[in-house]
Amino acid sequence: MDIIYIIAPTILGLFGFSVSSTKIITEGNQALVERLGKYQKTLDPGLNLIIPWIDQIAVEETTRGRILDIKPESAVTKDNVSVEVDVVVYWRILDLERAYYKVEDVDESEDIEDGIRSLVVETLHSIIIHYELNELYDSRDQMNQTLLDKLAQITDGWGVRVQRIKVQEIKQPESLTDFLEKQTSKIA
């Protein structure tokens, strides 16, 4: 009878230990494990084992593709016309370790998105200044590729890949549109 008082807590303790050492990571996610505050390993989707009380999940984040819709941004063309450009960026985390330790607060994804947004806006301004208004609409594919190339170089160090960029819409000022319509109606 006394042996039951010894075996039962031991079995219960082993069961608790095994449950607390098991971590399930869902498909499309990865998790970083820190051992006593230092990066230890990356957990892939599925059943994973860690050492309880010593290992800790620092972050679990999706590695699926994401869409960042950048609100229309004002830029000036070579012929000094102000236009608004609407851009969509498709991106994903490739290396969670680099993304988490090189970019602040990656678990909220806002810092990476803010960084990408700032890079797109800055690069967009530097690209559009080289085009005249009449060239701008025909050069979307070239602008997309230039934006993609420049962002890929920078974000690679973050463990992030910008997969695709699409300039969705280019709007010229309404006053210019009205002026061009009046000019066209006078000619006709």
Question: Over the stretch 138-185, which tens digit does the pLDDT of each residue have?
Answer: 888 999 999 999 888 888 888 889 999 999 888 876 665 555 555 566
CA distance 129 to 145: 16
In whole angstroms, how far apart are CA 54 and each of 11, 17, 34, 48?
A: 21, 12, 8, 15
- pLDDT for the residue numbered 35: 93
Q: Are residues 53 and 132 part of one domain? A: no
Q: Are residues 122 and 98 in the same domain?
A: yes
For the domain that residue 107 is a member of, what is the CATH number? 3.30.479.30
Q: How much is the average pLDDT of 52-67?
A: 90
| Mean pLDDT over the full length of the chain | 84
Per the structure, the complete domain to which residue 46 belongs is given by 2-62
Residue 18 reports pLDDT greater than 80: no
Q: Per the structure, how many domains does the chain have?
A: 2
Is residue 57 located within the same domain as residue 70?
A: no
Look at residue 90 and tell me if it is in a domain: yes
**Is 187 inside a domain boundary?**
no
pLDDT the model gives residue 32: 95
In the predicted model, is pLDDT for residue 133 greater than 60?
yes
pLDDT at 23 over 70: yes
pLDDT of residue 4: 76
Torsions phi, psi for 154 (to 5 deg): -80, -45
Segment 101-116 mean pLDDT: 69
C-beta separation of 88 from 165 below 8 A: yes
Q: Are residues 170 and 100 in the same domain?
A: yes
Q: Which residue has the higher pLDDT, 107 or 21?
A: 21
pLDDT of residue 136: 85
Could you tell me if 35 and 71 lie in one domain? no
For a pLDDT cut of 70, what percent of the chain falls above it? 85
Confidence of residue 86 (pLDDT cuts 50, 70, 90): very high
pLDDT at 28: 92
Torsion region of 28: left, alpha or beta (phi above 0 gives left; psi -120 to 50 gives alpha): left
What pLDDT, on the 0 to 100 scale, is given for residue 180?
A: 53
pTM score, whole prediction: 0.75
Q: Are residues 94 and 113 in the same domain?
A: yes
